[in-house]
């Protein structure tokens, strides 16, 4: 596949010549940007986009409301000026967005960006697509898979997709030579927690790192309740009972998954402890919605709309205005929702996961 040259200067690697390392009110720098490229998805995972809400009448965003790739890259460049080195593309299902390879190639050309990854349900990851994503500069993949038997998996995705379809996507990615492929499983009590051990056994020894994610109270649609959460400790205990594991050091400060190694050398697993052991103190992530709003927390009620600046007329375009807005947003940030979840008495609306991406 041949890609056109990026928007002005992107391919020329201009950017964070003098990185402006802004910190928020809790002294946390900005390092990661998660970019949602669509709010649409071909799954209806019951914990994320339940059919009762995301039905045929649901109004997804019209095309004109989505940021163009040029607009996304402008935001990425400014984010890189503030120290962002990692970009994760997400959604909705990001592979639904056409020509994602073009966006990846442009982002790969932004000075300061060292790591580009994608979170996907892998159903659209054909061999050809995996190859073209890899050649465009995508380095790492996180594939979501919530069970290893069809009955449970179909109950979760609610659209009849089989486990085999996802495994084929993983296989295609593996052949395409991605630096790392991680498999993410959200664990919800009573829905798929009986799959913890079968999933661990399946990925044990494969080189693919399986990560368990505690079910979170993101958005307003999934009827979250603390009794649905299987805690990290319980997940580790259940694995350890059959496949002994030992805790290991994080790869870097702020790594979201707690790492465990199989005692028999069969690789490692991770557990993302967002509910039972929050990690807000090290949270250096911002999220850009498909409509161009910056969210400084996964549990935010509202974002900061960049479109008024991004969509100024050509003569009025000014990256300094974007930079000032970014600095204002991040320096005013004091989010630490997961640390305060149990103290919050007022229930307020939160943005949906499928809108800002995981």
Closer residue to ligand SF4 in complex, CB, 159/247: 159
Closer residue to ligand SF4 in complex, CB, 121/132: 121
By CB under 6 A, tell whether 139 contacts ligand SAM.
no
Choose among ligand SF4, ligand SAM, none what residue 184 binds, the Cβ cut-off being 5 to 8 Å by kind.
ligand SAM
Footprint of ligand SF4 on 256-315 (CB under 6 A): 278-280, 283, 285, 297-299
Angle between the N-to-C axes of helices 127-136 and 100-108, in degrees from 0 to 180, rounded to the nearest 10: 20
| CA distance linking residue 289 with residue 72, whole number of Å | 10
Choose among ligand SAM, ligand SF4, none what residue 132 binds, the Cβ cut-off being 5 to 8 Å by kind.
none
Closer residue to ligand SAM in complex, CB, 33/213: 213
Among 3, 47, 262, 299, interactor with ligand SAM by CB under 6 A: 47
Among 121, 123, 192, 284, interactor with ligand SAM by CB under 6 A: 121
Residue 281, both tokens: 């103190």
Query: Is residue 34 a contact partner of residue 287, using CB atoms and an 8 Å limit?
Result: yes
Taking CB under 6 A as the binding criterion, the range among 90-98, 177-185, 230-238, 245-253 that sits at the site for ligand SF4 is: 90-98
Other Cβ atoms within 10 Å of 261 Cβ, number: 15
Q: What mask, x for binding ligand SAM by CB under 6 A, covers residues 49 to 88?
A: ----------------------------------------
Residue with tokens 């205005």: 321
| CA distance linking residue 304 with residue 73, whole number of Å | 17
Query: Is residue 216 a contact partner of residue 224, using CB atoms and an 8 Å limit?
Result: yes
Closer residue to ligand SAM in complex, CB, 144/296: 144
- Residue closest to ligand SAM, measured at CB: 358
Choose among ligand SF4, ligand SAM, none what residue 216 binds, the Cβ cut-off being 5 to 8 Å by kind.
ligand SAM
- 3-state class (DSSP) for residue 326: helix
Kind and range of the H or E run holding 77:
helix 69-81
| CA distance linking residue 212 with residue 192, whole number of Å | 11
Choose among ligand SAM, ligand SF4, none what residue 203 binds, the Cβ cut-off being 5 to 8 Å by kind.
none
Residue with tokens 């807005």: 325
Residue 219, both tokens: 């958005």
Residue 259, both tokens: 């790492």
By CB under 6 A, tell whether 23 contacts ligand SF4.
no
Query: Is residue 217 a contact partner of residue 182, using CB atoms and an 8 Å limit?
Result: no
Residue 297 Cβ, how far from ligand SAM at the closest point, in Å?
A: 14
| CA distance linking residue 150 with residue 147, whole number of Å | 8
Taking CB under 6 A as the binding criterion, the range among 3-11, 43-51, 55-63, 199-207 that sits at the site for ligand SF4 is: 43-51
The size of the chain, in residues, is 358
Choose among ligand SF4, ligand SAM, none what residue 195 binds, the Cβ cut-off being 5 to 8 Å by kind.
none
Query: Is residue 319 a contact partner of residue 78, using CB atoms and an 8 Å limit?
Result: yes
Query: Is residue 31 a contact partner of residue 85, using CB atoms and an 8 Å limit?
Result: yes
Q: Tell me the sheet residues that pair with 324.
A: none
By CB under 6 A, tell whether 45 contacts ligand SF4.
yes
By CB under 6 A, tell whether 273 contacts ligand SAM.
no
Query: Is residue 79 a contact partner of residue 46, using CB atoms and an 8 Å limit?
Result: no
| CA distance linking residue 185 with residue 195, whole number of Å | 9
Residue with tokens 């993949």: 141
Closer residue to ligand SAM in complex, CB, 28/40: 40
By CB under 6 A, tell whether 93 contacts ligand SAM.
yes
Residues that bind ligand SAM in the complex, under the rule CB under 6 A: 41, 47-48, 90-91, 93, 119-121, 144, 184, 186, 213, 215-216, 218, 222, 353-354, 357-358
**Contact positions vs ligand SF4 (CB under 6 A):** 41, 43-45, 48-49, 91-93, 121, 144, 278-280, 283, 285, 297-299, 335-338, 354
């Amino acid at each position: 596949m041949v890609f056109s040259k990026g928007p002005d200067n992107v391919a020329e690697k201009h950017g964070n010549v003098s990185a402006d390392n802004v910190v928020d009110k809790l002294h946390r720098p900005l390092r990661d940007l998660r970019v949602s490229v669509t709010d649409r998805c071909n799954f209806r995972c019951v914990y994320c986009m339940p059919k009762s809400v995301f039905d045929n009448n649901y109004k997804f965003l019209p095309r004109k409301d989505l940021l163009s790739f040029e607009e996304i890259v402008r935001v990425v460049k400014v984010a890189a000026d503030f120290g962002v080195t990692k970009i994760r593309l997400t959604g909705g299902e990001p592979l639904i967005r056409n020509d994602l390879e073009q966006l990846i190639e442009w982002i790969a050309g932004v000075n300061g960006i060292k790591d580009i990854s994608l979170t996907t349900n892998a159903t659209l990851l054909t061999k050809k697509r995996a190859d073209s994503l890899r050649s465009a500069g995508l380095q790492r993949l996180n594939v979501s898979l919530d069970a290893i038997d069809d009955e449970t998996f179909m109950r979760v995705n609610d659209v009849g997709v089989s486990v085999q379809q996802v495994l084929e996507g993983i296989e295609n990615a593996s052949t395409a030579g991605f630096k790392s492929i991680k498999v993410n499983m959200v664990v919800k009590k009573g829905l798929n927690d009986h799959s913890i051990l079968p999933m661990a056994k399946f990925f044990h020894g494969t080189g693919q790192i399986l990560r368990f994610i505690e079910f979170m109270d993101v958005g307003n649609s999934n009827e979250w309740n603390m009794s649905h959460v299987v805690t990290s400790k319980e997940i580790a205990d259940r694995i350890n009972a059959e496949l002994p594991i030992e805790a290991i050091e994080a790869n870097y400060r702020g790594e979201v998954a707690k790492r465990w190694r199989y005692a028999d050398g069969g690789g490692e697993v991770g557990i993302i402890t967002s509910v039972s052991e929050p990690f807000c103190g090290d949270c250096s992530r911002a999220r850009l919605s498909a409509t161009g709003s910056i969210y400084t927390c996964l549990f935010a009620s509202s974002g900061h709309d960049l479109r008024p600046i991004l969509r100024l007329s050509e003569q009025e375009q000014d990256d300094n205005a974007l930079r000032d807005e970014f600095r204002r947003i991040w320096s005013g940030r004091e989010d630490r929702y997961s640390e305060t979840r149990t103290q919050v008495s007022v229930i307020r609306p939160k943005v949906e996961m499928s809108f800002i991406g995981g």
